[in-house]
Amino acid sequence: MHPTLQPLPMPDAEVYFAPDFIPGPQADTYFMQLMEQVNWQQESIKLFGKLQPMPRLTAWYGDKSYTYSGLENKPQAWLPVLQELREQVEQATGHTYNSVLLNLYRSGQDSMGWHADNEQALGPQPRIASLSLGGERRFAFKHRNRKDVEPVRLPLQNGSLLLMQGPTQHHWLHQIPKTTRAVQPRINLTFRQVIS
């Protein structure tokens, strides 16, 4: 594993973090390329029986289709820039990924609620490599059932890489909360290995 990926001291989890995985100027270039080239979609989610627009834009690229939050994502061919990022993340983490989910948080009002990435298609021990580009946002973890374990908050800055694996998705939830602070748009890429 890449030496800059440092373990976070979390019980019942295997989380590694590299705050400076991609140098700032290069991360800025990737951010602009992805803003322009990705096929960003405004998806909806059913909340209390009502269709609501998701508070972020999303895109799915990969070798297989994948159901996420009840939505079927048809695979789209990898863009060269996504291939390049995938290779860097594969080198750093020592594992391969056949899919990437991209999220675009346009402002502090865009967010992702508490969840775990524990769909069956990700296997019993999902490995999620999460790359952040653009404006910094706070990421939060909370243990599902241990009240004695403190939540973990982590600023995900431009060019940072967060790796979650092992039992993490079984015992912890994570989110990107909304913020009233002035923040720049942010792109997050979660590389995943879909097995079915």
Q: Which residue numbers belong to the known binding site?
A: 48-50, 66-68, 103, 105, 115, 174, 186, 190, 192
**12 φ, ψ to 5°?**
60, 30
Question: Does residue number 38 form part of the binding site for ligand AKG (CB under 6 A)?
Answer: no
**193 φ, ψ to 5°?**
-110, 105
CB of 144 within 8 A of CB of 172?
Answer: yes
Number of residues that bind ligand AKG (CB under 6 A): 11
Looking at beta carbons only, is 31 or 148 nearer to ligand AKG?
31
- Choose, by CB under 6 A, the member of 59, 89, 176, 183 that binds ligand AKG: 176
- Choose, by CB under 5 A, the member of 16, 18, 56, 117 that binds Fe ion: 117
Which one, of 82, 87, 72, 74, lies nearest residue 37 by Cα?
A: 82
- Choose, by CB under 6 A, the member of 103, 157, 168, 169 that binds ligand AKG: 103
| Structure token digits, residue 189 | 């890429």
Question: Does residue number 59 form part of the binding site for ligand AKG (CB under 6 A)?
Answer: no
